[in-house]
Structure 1
Amino acid sequence: MTEPLYSEDVLEAARIQFARPVRFLMGAAQIEQLPPDDLPEVAFAGRSNVGKSSLINALVGQNHLARASNEPGRTREVNFFVLEEKLRLVDLPGYGWARASKTTVKKFQNLGRDYLRGRPSLKRAYLLIDARHGLKSVDNEPMDALDLAAVSYQIILTKADKIKPAELEKVVAASQNAIKKRPAAHPLVIATSSEKGLGIPELRAEIMQVCGVTL
């Protein structure tokens, strides 16, 4: 597994920051409805039902900030959450299977892509991948788009507690190998578990660093 990149002091500072007030700002159904890009933002993208809402809730230590659902593809808007007026966490519509008409699916997926391509305040996109399945062919399209748009992105494995540690190491290694030649991909892959807290401190520290946020 990857050696720790952050000191205990940095991890503790990130924990304190993410324990501070956070609120739902708005959901944008159209690109024209996006809030002013006056705060640094990180966005969370991934296949439907990969656990985006659960990860956001785990980062801020709340159970119900982002609406988690057992119904894949429920997110239809770009949802913004503000952390102590210092940075925004952005929940993007899921891609892949969704229980909606093809026209509706295309509309909200295109909204997410438009946000990723044209948001000056976006510091990094986190592409969430289910650790039980690893990167699939369906994930190539968003990575191709992010590479083309030169948007920095990072692979975050979710539900890492659902597989054995040895298998998780293989998935991490395979993911890192798959993105080696992708120009916009951050080389570090972080394995997380929203239920067990695995990788959550490290991801908080990553977000603080990339957003330039200090206590």
Structure 2
Amino acid sequence: MAAPNFSTPIERTADELEAGRLLFAGECEFFFGAQQLGQLPDPDKPEIAFAGRSNVGKSSLVNALTGRKALARASSEPGRTKQLNFFDLAGRLVLVDMPGYGFAKAAKSVKEDWQEMMFAYLRGRPTLQRVILLLDSRIETKASDIEVMDLFDKAAINFQIVLTKCDGLKPGPLARKLESVRALAAKHPAAHPEVIASSSETGLGMPELRAELTAFALPAIG
């Protein structure tokens, strides 16, 4: 098997991009929130989870992907929300909004609880297809980001890095950021080789990410 290519962007066909557009233009509704593993809904559809540090723009990205303004809502107190939020996308895919991590003001016990619950979810969820790990393009990668990547490696869960807020960078700095993050991803066995640059404000990267995730969805009916 050829080694993953961490340097060359993946090209999508027009059909793949259109399939992604159609899926994410469909109905998307919140249907379950779980604060404990025993409360998880039945695993009956493919799931894509979204993870990232508090204030990385996770809620904004989920809203932009689905074309909604307030489907996912950011907590007013980062680090307080510990709930896994489940959204049904057109009956074909489930989007899972994971609690943010890396919150400096949170108590040590809260951080430990997050890691324990998230690791148990990641390792034990049979329908989980991929985790989208969001990193803020404007700041350096934090130690907590590396710890989470190590957690994904340990859980043997495929994850893909998406850079957020890329509209805040000029082309040169963005290209250098992409290069450095690709090099970081290459060090992690569970990482997907493609890093996607995105912006919830301009729509950058949304068609490509929709196309990528649509590959995991159940077939359309009719």
Q: TM-score range by the shorter chain?
A: over 0.9
Which structure exhibits the higher relative contact order, with contacts defined as CA atoms closer than 8 Å and separated by 6 or more residues?
2
Q: In 1, are the aligned partners of 2:93 and 2:218 still within 8 Å (CA)?
A: no
TM-score (norm 1): 0.93
Q: Structure 2 CA distance, aligned partners of 1:75 and 1:98? A: 14
- SS of residue paired to 1:210: coil
Does 2:210 correspond to 1:204?
A: yes
Mapping of residues 32-111 of structure 1, within 5 Å: 32-69=38-75, 71-97=77-103, 99-111=105-117
Mapping of residues 131-210 of structure 1, within 5 Å: 131-210=137-216
Any stretches of 5+ residues in structure 2 without a counterpart?
1-6
Identity of aligned residues (%): 52
Moved over 4 A (4+): 1-4, 212-215
- 1:100 CA drift (Å): 4.2
Any stretches of 5+ residues in structure 1 without a counterpart?
none
- 1:109 CA drift (Å): 4.1
Query: Judging changes above 3 Å, is the alpha-carbon distance between structure 1 residues 191 and 134 closer, same or farther for their aligned structure 2 residues?
Result: farther
Mapping of residues 20-35 of structure 1, within 5 Å: 20-35=26-41
**Aligned AA (1:14):** G
Q: In 2, are the aligned partners of 1:41 and 1:90 still within 8 Å (CA)?
A: yes
Q: In 1, are the aligned partners of 2:56 and 2:134 still within 8 Å (CA)?
A: yes
- SS of residue paired to 2:162: strand
- 1:162 CA drift (Å): 0.9
User: Paired residue for 2:4?
Assistant: none
- Aligned length in residues: 215
The RMSD of aligned alpha carbons is: 1.9
- SS of residue paired to 2:216: helix
Q: Structure 2 CA distance, aligned partners of 1:164 and 1:57? A: 24
TM-score (norm 2): 0.90
Q: Structure 2 CA distance, aligned partners of 1:107 and 1:147? A: 19
- 1:74 CA drift (Å): 4.2
Q: Structure 2 CA distance, aligned partners of 1:162 and 1:145? A: 29
Query: Judging changes above 3 Å, is the alpha-carbon distance between structure 1 residues 4 and 152 closer, same or farther for their aligned structure 2 residues?
Result: closer
User: Paired residue for 1:13?
Assistant: 19
Q: Structure 2 CA distance, aligned partners of 1:182 and 1:212? A: 28
- SS of residue paired to 2:30: strand
- 1:214 CA drift (Å): 5.1
Which piece of structure 1 moves more, 136-145 or 168-177? 136-145
- 1:72 CA drift (Å): 2.4
Query: Judging changes above 3 Å, is the alpha-carbon distance between structure 1 residues 154 and 4 closer, same or farther for their aligned structure 2 residues?
Result: closer
- 1:34 CA drift (Å): 0.5
